[in-house]
Structure 1
């Protein structure tokens, strides 16, 4: 056991340093996302979704840095990552709408002016929608029409269509009227 520890002392120390630094960066990013979410009055599920994205980013960075620490050369890592990204790129090209919806979900997190509970109207010539936002997910919005119908509306389309705010916090206002 001592031979293993003393033989790889630098790698073990670097591993702990990398993990500690990435843990601190992760906490800072999560606090920042939480602060932005609270300042923008975003629903907690949207903030938790950003936490998932932050975790994925930190994990990818950790794998890369730990591979460098344990002796993989930059050329080896470049080959592995370029091969993986080529395969992922071909696969994602086939399902590009998923990527566009995830990207739109991130954009909606930071700049969507409507909140959960807002009554909106989507100006779409093929399918005009007037509904209350029930939830905002990574790929789509849950919209509830006045007839009680649940519509899942893709995030990338909500960024492409004109949207009007009819009533702010419709569900909350409705509950206040009942009191």
Structure 2
């Protein structure tokens, strides 16, 4: 299953890169404040860290883009819940992210809202320790990326958004408040 998922992502991204319906190509680089949280928790837990990602932007129309991506997220627990109370519960991730997304956006100059969804894989170490779950897993798992935000600027080349990676096999989601910049590529 995992090998088939990786092969599917590679096949989709390689065929999209050569597709004739792609009007423009660009590189998007994002950096941000990473978070992970368990699906089920007795306390309100959110562990923080660092997020970075690079995307190949393949614009098919003014309102739709295909975005193969690679990135990573590193989060760790400080032993406290959101309210600052001590807790043993945690949701930590140290993972490389790989996959593909589709972004639908309003083609508006200066401020263009967007939403995106896709499928991908996380490769790394995942720990979810709560009253309900005790998961300590290393390896490859699937994730479902979901993001929304705004593209800013005259050419919509600055990206401000919230991005999430739902990881059901380890009962947690990873996310980030990220800022990015898009650099056009010449054909």
TM range (shorter): under 0.3
Which structure carries more relative contact order (alpha carbon 8 Å, separation 6+)?
2
TM-score (norm 2): 0.26
Larger radius of gyration: 1
Greater fraction of residues in helix: 1
TM-score (norm 1): 0.27
Greater fraction of residues in strand: 2
